[in-house]
Each structure stands twice: as structure tokens, then as C-alpha cells.
Amino acid sequence: MDLVSVTELRAARERADLALAPGETVLAGGTWLFSEPQPVTGLVDLTTLGWPDWEELPGTLRIGATCTVERVLHAPWGPAAGLVRQCADAFLMSVKVQHVATVGGNVCLALPAAAAVSLASALDATALVWTPDGGERREPVTTFVTGAGTTTLRPGEVLRAIDVPATALTLPHAFRRASLTRHGRSSAVVIGSGDRLVVTASTTRPVVLDRHDLETGLAAIDCWYDDPHGPTDWRAHVTGVLAREVAAELAA
């Protein structure tokens, strides 16, 4: 839709351009930003900063925040490529949207069913955040997302990248997903990686479980999500079923 209140679009060319004036917000793919009215008067385009889609750093695969869902599939994921494809399919978006929707935008939007949050959390990834004073901070994606639509991003901060440890790419993985309909929004997602299981979609934030103490972890979950895609009791039950399947697959 048109954002009729917007009077200016700025193309960011360097980090200093990310200093936002009153009424401005950052723009990446814009697939959510342009989907409903926004209380903004200006947009600052992140895609003109020229961030690489991915970089292979020592011990780390860095995914740029402006990398699109379409392009992230071509990153050098190695043994984790199958898991990445499963998460990409969970986006349930058209090819046109995949072409512009960004990984960073999906993480920052922090919807319970956000597939990029599921993937990054399962791979023990870290959010690299640029701070307005010219510095940066790092935080696990599992704590970066604090609830349905909320993160630890503070005013003036920008998500720069998602850093995935190379060791996580070589671990055995298992993926399970449930929804109310065959092609519906994810109601529960459980991904196992090594000895960790991560629950998303059925909870308001990512929840990390220990595969070797699964029942205790499941019983302790206190952030079940409730919306038209599934009530809390059903999500809790389905999550338990999926988690046990994932744990059994990893133990086989």
C-alpha cells in the first residue's frame, strides 16, 4: 500500500546516514512496512549501503541483514543447506516477495512464525547490531527476540548481520513443523541441532531445550502463543510431539 505520510526517502551510503531524524525509520525489503499504515514521514534505505549478502569469516558465516530470502539459499551453508531450505519453505511467501523480503527484516519483525528467527536460533547465531554512537554490540538471536513483535533493539540501533558459527553448520539437524492447514502459517516449529532443540512459532520467543532433559524443558515453557493459528494448549501438545520426534531422530 502507499504510505501517504512519507515525504522523503533517503538512500543511505555510509553509516552516518543511519542517524534518523524525527519521523524517520529504516527500510530494507519493505514487505511488511508497506503492508499497513505506518506513523512515519521519512524512510532511510538500507539496501544502498552495499552490505554483502554473506561473508565467510574465520569460524563464522555472516549473513547480511539486507540479504533477501531468495539469495540466502545460495550462501555456503554446507551440510546445513537442507535445513535452510526447510526454513525458507516455511516462509510461505510468493516468489515475488522472496525476491525482496530480507533476513534482517524478518528477524527484527520478530513474529512468532518468523522463519529466519527459527533458523538463526537453531544455528546458535548472533545478532550484530550497530549502535548510534558508532559502536556495535552482539547478542544471541535467542535473546534478541523477546516476544511477539519485540526485540532488544533500542532507538537508533540497526541490525547489521546475523553471524552463524561455522561449527553449527556441521552438526546433525532435524526439523519439524506443524500448522492448522497444509500450507498455513507455522503454528509450531522445532529444530534440533546437536544437543539443542529450539522451539519457535508456538511460543512468543525462541525457547532453547536440552535434548537430554527434554521433558523438564517442555514443562518449564511459559510463553505459549495464542492466536487464530492455534490455541495455547494445542500448541503445547503439538510442540511436545514434535520435540520428541526431533530428539529421537538426533539420537538415532
- Region(s) of the chain under CATH 3.30.390.50: 169-251
Amino acid of residue 173: H
CA atoms within 13 A on the CB side of 172: 10
Question: In the prediction, which pLDDT does 99 show?
Answer: 81
Question: In the prediction, which pLDDT does 93 show?
Answer: 65
Question: In the prediction, which pLDDT does 95 show?
Answer: 72
Where the chain has pLDDT below 50, the residues are: none
CA atoms within 13 A on the CB side of 124: 16
Question: In the prediction, which pLDDT does 178 show?
Answer: 95
* Contact between residue 135 and residue 108 where contact means Cβ atoms under 8 Å apart: no
CA atoms within 13 A on the CB side of 145: 36
Question: In the prediction, which pLDDT does 154 show?
Answer: 96
pTM above 0.85, yes or no: yes
- Region(s) of the chain under CATH 3.30.465.10: 54-168
Question: In the prediction, which pLDDT does 98 show?
Answer: 78
**CATH code linked to domain 169-251:** 3.30.390.50
Question: In the prediction, which pLDDT does 5 show?
Answer: 83
**CATH code linked to domain 54-168:** 3.30.465.10
